[in-house]
A and B are shown apart, each in its own frame.
Chain A
Amino acid sequence: MAKKLMKGSEAIGEAAVQAGCRLFFGYPITPQNEIPEYMSLRLPQVGGCFVQAESEVAASNMLYGAAGTGERVMTSSSSPGISLMSEAVSYLAGAELPVVIVNIVRAGPGLGGILPSQGDYFQATRGMGHGDFRLLVLAPWSVQEAADLVQDAFDLADFYRNPVMVLGDGLIGQMMEPVEFRSDRQPIKELQPKTWAATGCPGDRPTNIINSLFLDPEELERHNWKLKAKYDAMARDEIRSAVYAADDDYDVLIVAYGTVARVCSTAIDELRERGVRVAMVRPITLFPFPYQAIRDAALRASSVLVVELSTGQMIEDVRLALEGARPIHFHSRVGGMLVTPDEVIEKVDRILAGGAAEVSHG
């Protein structure tokens, strides 16, 4: 299929359709409305169904019901709406239902603002709801990668029977870039028939029950360890990261994800032109986090710079990765303000001149 210029939100919607998603449940919230709007027009064209729910609470439970039939289903929202979905996401994880959730993150806390942010990193990577569970979290840095990751997300959700979140921000949703959908795309995992789905109980087969209730603590403990084994398998098999300008030697390693990494790549290009030796490692999976890749890349540098649109969330994982092996610097903008390439350049210059303090807080 030829490349097509698409807005990020539309590419995310089309990617879901290409991946076989036929059901979308959502509720309006800025800045992600283009995704449900796209799906409301597109899904009926392919025999699917779009429902505008009465709330994110209802949308996420519609997602639960539809996923329980074995169909491929998706919702999208933005930070406050994702908070409302966190109840259902816990149930989805407990009942082991495969769904794809897109969070176009806006600045918070509370109502916050409607401009881009990475303030939901903790929420996405630390379980997101009550109980002991994880989401698989994917963070694209381009419209093409958003489209690719959404399609992969459906395969990963089905394979692990677990919710998968695509974590973007308003920049990803709004920017237009060429996108290519490959017609010969194959699933990235070997997928089994969904024999667990509740679709009516023929003959004498035991009933299929979609459920997260385990009143017997021994049974629930077994269930908890079974879920943990899935998260361990994700950490073993699904970690993704990319490096930028790391072929040559470097003194400073930038760690950034999503659209911030995009900004940093522009800064790195300009710094390299001046002969400044700087490179980047970019987590693509936020859970499982690429601890080893970041550590390996950092050990080639003399110092590390974490750049993110929060007051310091991913930096905690970078600290875990480095375990004190290298000094860590931090640069961020929050509240919907964006990091600029010039800010990153100035920060790198200061680090190399010895004038930048290491972070003393997480």
Chain B
Amino acid sequence: MAETVFSRPGALAPVITHYCPGCTHGIIHRLIAEVIDELGIRERTVGISPVGCAVLAYNYFTVDFQEASHGRAPAVATGIKRARPDLIVFTYQGDGDLASIGMAEIVHCANRGEKVTVVFVNNAIYGMTGGQMAPTTLPGQIATTCPLGRDVEQAGHPIRIAELLSTLRTPSFVARAAVHTPLHAVNAKEMLRRAFRYQVAGTCFSLVEVLSTCPTNWGVPPVEANRWLAQNMMPFYPLGVFKTPDGADRAPTPGAGD
């Protein structure tokens, strides 16, 4: 008898996604689905899809979903969790959604200590609208609304969300991970597992920032996109755990990339 050693997670719908070749949304979706399966929470999980490339995420999971307006997913999550504390609630948000238009919602959701999990996918650009500058676009990085590269004199520096949220006094779990290599993906799954476990235990707000690629809007082939992420994003967006609910905050990170 053949033994199944690898299959589609039950929380992942048996459909083909619309994501571009080389985009890491699919990997992140799968990691979330694996964690949902392992924790046995599929039947009491409600996801919130964002506005952006992952707007159709509700088609890719076998869990109930709500579609939020741009940036408001943490408020929608708050409403769901306050109405039904027994549900496991997660948002899936990109950088334009969470770090620009939704900055107020994410900061206050974290600060209230809502017992929800936020998966923050940072690919340093607006994907679905066609490659505009994001709050996370790197200095000098070219985007359609900064065709000469991000000018920090005009647009300021990129926002480090994990670092920013880890300054809040309210206990939470905040981490940053990447998925551009198998080893990084294994670590990212561990971060997601911890994030969901904190929610299952009713402990705290949790957020995992995941560095992601966007070959289409970066204008590079998928393999090169992985290299670009490692060489350009990781120095500015260091990986690791920034905050845990027991109060053990990570020491200030060196200003690599500055």
Contacts and interface: CB of A to CB of B under 8 A. Distances in A.
- Is chain B found bound to chain A in the same assembly? yes
A209 B83 contact: no
Contacts of A23: 79, 82-83
B58 interface: yes
Nearest to B81: A65
B102 to A, nearest CB: 10
Nearest to B41: A200
B79 A201 contact: no
A54 B62 CA distance: 32
B66 interface: yes
A100 interface: no
A53 B75 contact: yes
B257 to A, nearest CB: 31
Contacts of B75: 53, 57-59, 61-62, 64-65
B64 A65 contact: no
B105 A201 contact: no
A202 interface: yes
Contacts of A201: 42-43, 45, 62-64
Interface in B66-117: 66-69, 72, 75-84, 87, 104-105, 107-108, 112
B189 to A, nearest CB: 22
B65 A198 contact: yes
A200 B63 CA distance: 6
Contact of A62 (B55, B65, B82, B84): B82
Interface stretch (A68-76, A181-189, A284-292): A68-76
Contacts of A49: 82-83
Contact of A207 (B63, B67, B79, B87): B63
B83 A210 contact: no
A53 B82 CA distance: 12
B66 A61 contact: no
B62 A207 contact: yes
B61 interface: yes
Interface stretch (A87-95, A102-110, A112-120, A170-178): A87-95
Interface string B34-57: 000000001111101000000100
A122 to B, nearest CB: 23
A61 B72 contact: yes
A113 to B, nearest CB: 27
Contacts of B48: 65
Residue among B61, B80, B83, B112 having the largest count of chain A Cβ atoms under 10 Å:
B83
Contact of B84 (A57, A58, A199, A211): A199
A55 interface: yes
A202 B43 contact: yes
B63 A61 contact: no
A213 B55 contact: yes
A200 B46 contact: yes
A76 to B, nearest CB: 16
B234 to A, nearest CB: 32
Given A57-B72, A88-B72, A201-B43, A69 B105 contact: no
Contact of B83 (A54, A59, A73): A73
Given A55-B104, A210-B66, A62 B58 contact: no
B84 to A, nearest CB: 5
A207 B78 CA distance: 21
Interface in A23-56: 23, 25, 49, 51, 53-55
Interface string A189-200: 000000000111
A62 B76 contact: yes
A67 interface: yes
A310 B77 CA distance: 38
A56 to B, nearest CB: 11
Contacts of B82: 23, 49, 51, 62, 66
A21 B250 CA distance: 42
A198 B64 contact: yes
A91 to B, nearest CB: 5
A63 B237 CA distance: 34
Give the top 6 A-B pairs by smallest Cβ distance, nearest first: A65-B79, A65-B76, A61-B75, A66-B79, A62-B79, A198-B64
8 contacts: A62-B82, A69-B84, A71-B83, A198-B80, A202-B43, A207-B58, A207-B63, A213-B67
Interface of A: 22-23, 25, 49, 51, 53-55, 57-59, 61-69, 71, 73, 87-88, 91, 95, 198-203, 207-213
Given A69-B46, A209-B66, 13 more contacts: A22-B83, A61-B72, A62-B82, A64-B68, A65-B80, A66-B82, A73-B83, A199-B46, A203-B43, A207-B58, A209-B65, A209-B67, A210-B67
